[in-house]
Structure 1
Amino acid sequence: MRQAIHHLHVHARSRGLVEFTLQVRAFVRETGIDTGLLTLFCRHTSASLLIQENADPSVRRDLERYFDALAPEDPQRYEHDTEGPDDMPAHLRTALTHTQLSIPVERGEPVLGTWQGIYLFEHRRHAQAREIVLHLIGE
């Protein structure tokens, strides 16, 4: 049994979904691990991780609009606003999604569906550099 770990930096220009599937695939290939389990962990409280369709961009736009409606920016609604009006809505959106994903690895590749991509879901309005920790265990 072997393990590999990598800290990946994903840059988001603004709120929304940023695909980083290719970087994950490259990490898995570089490890030489053929079969195992890949864990991805987002080290932030105002961004999250999703596996989502990567073929039709309207899916991403609809998700973003849905979360805007679910956790809107409204200064009258929230007590916590330390970093601005998008601060608490970002925390709510993270609470409703995931900061950790697990993906099986087979034949040296993450086992994803045909139209699945791995995304950072940035919940803040302004550009952010986010750190994602990748941990692969297997043989």
Structure 2
Amino acid sequence: MFRNILVASHGSPGARQAESMAASLARECGAALTVLSIVNIDWNVMTGDDWLNSSATRNHFANYVEGEIQREVAAVWERIQEEHPDLSPHFVRKVGELEDALVDAAAEAGADLIVVGARQKTRAPGFKARLKGKKLHPRLACPLLVAP
């Protein structure tokens, strides 16, 4: 039924539900599993500005934030690899607007299905951005499954 399933995950409880559902479907269909981590473009406006900052300090802070983001993404990927070694997931990292990154990654991966987590009543710490349906749905070239 499906050949390539794309799951968007950042490790929150809702995203982990999506991971689980996507992995089950991949096993059932014999499909490849692509895991997408999106780094919201808004991170780059975190400058830590105050009156003591120089351009060198801002650059140092930007490098620090980028390193922290990379460590968080690597931790999610490592956990998924350990939980689903039989699927040999392919991992993709994109920086941008959530909807743009998801649509682009699906096209690049040749995804037949996209799986995302459901909107949670309480947001996980550190995750503020949410997919906007009106901006996403008209652009999708394949079905979107929202894991409960």
TM-score above 0.5, yes or no: no
Q: Which structure has more helix as a fraction of its residues?
A: 2
Q: Which structure has more strand as a fraction of its residues?
A: 1
